Amino acid sequence: MRLDPDGGPLLVDGPVEVVTEDGTTHFSHRPTVALCTCRRSARYPWCDTSHRARAPKGADAPGSPEEEPR
């Protein structure tokens, strides 16, 4: 299992079975599977590279001036 340090997908060795919050089970038989961690994917739980449309690197980093209050 590998996590992209720039906020991209979680890469896991397949095949995998993922159960999402609504109870739906998703299967992939690929040798490596990219799981979405940003929740922007139209193919969630699979990464569709939508995470690349995020703000420039560092703009949403903790402590940055652009960080929104929680």
Question: Contact positions toward ligand FES, by CB under 6 A?
Answer: 8-9, 36-38, 40-41, 47-51
The burial class, CB within 10 Å (0-12 / 13-18 / 19+), for 32 is exposed
Report the nearest approach of ligand FES to the CB of residue 62 (Å).
18
Residue 26 or 40: the one with the smaller Cβ distance to ligand FES is 40
**CB of 54 vs ligand FES, minimal distance in Å:** 9
Give 6 or 65: the residue with its C-beta nearer to ligand FES.
6
Token output for 52: 């690349």
